[in-house]
A and B are shown apart, each in its own frame.
Chain A
Amino acid sequence: MCAERRRARAVRIGSVIIGGANDIAIQSMCTANTEDHAAVIEEIKRLEDAGCQIVRVGILNANAARAIGRIKSAISIPLVADIHFDHRLALIAIEEGVDKLRLNPGNIKNRDHIAAVAGAAKKNGVPIRIGVNSGSAPREILQKYGGTICAGLLVEAAQWEIKLLEEMAFYDIVISLKASSPRATIEAYRMMAGLCDYPLHLGVTEAGVAATGEIRSAIGIGVLLYEGIGDTFRVSLTDDPVKEIHAAKRILAAVFTR
């Protein structure tokens, strides 16, 4: 490694702690419909066997949110709920014992709702990942950058989201700024690394099928890890998520073995 590891603040996600000098955790996301908890549990078990350390599920509605308790009781690794727009889903997920939320306060919009989520999360020790993504940058910020996806845009969007949580005195935050362009992604994380001490969840988004995604992820994630930036990461592949874990392990090997 060419640089010292960036010392991010530590964030606990269930049984896993990221940040600081903790190991870099590898994670994935389920493809099964969350309401079908049996299918999700089966998928997560395969991910666990492959070495996945944290797993995320998408929560579209209350049924899916209420499946979290059952899923959690059947799996060993921490569970993250991916929630957009509806703050009530976040509240249910927290009640159900989820270990972390991926949620952008900016798309919740209503300040009282954001406050409610931040309050419940804080009370239950549930951290929140703000996930800025080149595919869903806030319109006002996108317009400022002339519609072009670049590192500055991703960082500004993240800072806006972070502020919404910090205003609620919530600091248990993890940040991701993923673009489909590996270069923009690398630049964005480098910038963000210098602007805060929150742990960073690395990833190149929408990286394509295995033949393209493994390569984009190796570039976008590997370079940052080599520079000491990053505390957890997810390889996005349009394929069986177990392949994401295999690719993640190969990225760690490429960067850290000598």
Chain B
Amino acid sequence: MNNLNEISGKEGGKEILDFSTVELCAGWPQREEFFNSFPGFAPLFTYHFPYEDGAAFERAKRLKLTGFQVVFNSPEEFLSAGRLEFPAPRDEKSRPAVFAGVDFGPGGGPELAAACNEFLSRAKIMYGAAAPLAVRLYVEPHTFEDAGIIVDGIYGRPTSWQWPRRLSICFGGGSAAGIIDLNRRIAAKYPFIRGSLHIEPSKGLDRVANALLFCLKFSDPLLADCTIAPVFADLDLAVIRGPHPAMSPASGHENPYFDTLEILRSLEFANIPGVFFISCPTCSRCRIDIISLAKKIYERVKYIETPIKIAVMGCEVNGPGEASHADIGVAGSPGGAVIFERGKIVERASPEDAEFKLMERVARHVR
């Protein structure tokens, strides 16, 4: 979605998502659930594993992941880990299969630039100049000027000193729009860095903010070559700096992977599986309990991998119109409810059997 204008909201001509641009954080119970629900599709993404999860490499191999990042909470953690067997990138042009992500935290430009360069020197000694390592530096500069000092400080060095061959930088911090603004300015001022930028909030955001982050990244040509990773926060808990908050099983959403999938689905990429669920918010026009019906149906269809559109509508004002554009829909009517399939009314139902009749037809589509 390099430019929303190209798509112009038409139903055809949908954009294809490059899965290697989207990286997913968050912990194991939710990840397992996601893998089990979408077995053909889940391995396409790149995942973040904390280094302290000792079995990270084994899990990645078992799950046949095409890409993952090992997350180190500080440069010291990386350096004291000793040499690890990072798989090499396939070739110079492809994105590295595995990153070592190192967190430097917040700071001013000069301090962070110095810390990054010191780290890179020591890591180079540890791994050797020839090691095909891909490293990502996570920094939170206070201002755009600080970010510029870091870029100049790292990339301004003579090329013969540059190591590793693949270096990625993440400027975190702030709100969704704040992160986007900062990265846009960096991408505009330092065009050579666009392929190395990684967009990831340093603090967990709610799904609304993560959704906006994704939309702004995917709709901006300046950010077309960046990768992005959402970080979800539990709305009720304060997000504490320290071990990457999204990595612990206790943090995060009901399931951040499902939210990420819904974000990608809502961006209307052609190659995202699953149900595009439509339902109206109900109002006094509505004759059936749409809230309860929609919630029930959603819970039953949310794990379906087939890309179909399902509409649950309350009345005849927008009901038939929306339901007729869906693969399967139900709309409240004076007599109860009406079931649509691919634009045509196929049967009538009472409010009580609407759910059953709709799900019967959904099951046939999914087979």
Contact = CB atoms under 8 A, between A and B. Distances in A.
Contacts of A253: 175, 209
Contacts of B318: 133-136, 205-206
A240 B281 CA distance: 9
A219 B9 contact: no
A247 interface: yes
B313 A250 contact: no
A219 B266 CA distance: 8
Contacts of A60: 284-285
Interface in A202-237: 205-209, 211-219, 222-223, 226, 236-237
Interface in A141-173: 148-152
B177 A255 contact: yes
Contacts of B5: 187
A123 interface: no
A255 B212 contact: yes
Interface string A130-142: 0001111100000
Nearest to A34: B284
Given A211-B259, A215-B211, A206 B278 contact: yes
B207 interface: yes
A222 B215 contact: yes
Nearest to B268: A183
Contacts of A213: 281
Interface string B271-309: 000000111111111100011001100100010000000
Interface in B164-218: 174-178, 180-181, 184, 205-209, 211-216
B284 A64 contact: yes
A250 B210 CA distance: 11
B283 A58 contact: yes
Contacts of A206: 278-281, 311, 313, 318, 322
A179 interface: yes
Interface in A162-203: 179-188
A68 B277 CA distance: 34
Interface residue tally of chain A, by bracket? 35 or more
A247 B208 contact: yes
Contacts of B258: 211
A206 B302 CA distance: 17
B11 interface: yes
Contacts of B263: 215, 219
Given A57-B284, A179-B9, A238 B294 contact: yes
Contact of B11 (A150, A187, A222, A241): A150
A176 to B, nearest CB: 13
B82 to A, nearest CB: 40
A108 interface: no
A155 B168 CA distance: 42
Contact of A254 (B175, B219, B294): B175
Nearest to B322: A135
B11 A149 contact: yes
Contacts of A33: 284
A215 B176 contact: no
A174 B283 CA distance: 21
Nearest to A187: B9
A251 interface: yes
Interface in A25-57: 29-35, 40, 57
A166 to B, nearest CB: 24
Nearest to B179: A258
Interface in B310-339: 311-313, 317-322, 325
A238 B282 contact: yes
Contacts of A212: 262, 266, 277, 298
A84 B208 contact: no
Interface string A1-31: 1100000000000000000000000000111
A85 to B, nearest CB: 9
B201 to A, nearest CB: 11
Interface in B1-54: 4-5, 7-12
A187 B4 contact: yes
Contacts of B98: none
B292 to A, nearest CB: 9
A218 B175 CA distance: 13
Interface in A48-106: 57-60, 64, 82, 84
A182 B266 contact: yes
Given A182-B266, A208-B279, A255-B177, A215 B207 contact: yes
B147 interface: no
Given A64-B284, A208-B279, A215-B259, A1 B177 contact: yes
Interface of B: 4-5, 7-12, 174-178, 180-181, 184, 205-209, 211-216, 219, 254, 258-259, 262-263, 266-268, 277-286, 290-291, 294-295, 298, 302, 311-313, 317-322, 325
Given A215-B211, A218-B211, A226-B216, 20 more contacts: A1-B181, A2-B184, A30-B284, A31-B281, A31-B283, A31-B291, A33-B284, A135-B318, A150-B9, A181-B9, A187-B5, A205-B280, A206-B281, A215-B208, A219-B266, A222-B215, A238-B279, A238-B290, A238-B295, A254-B175
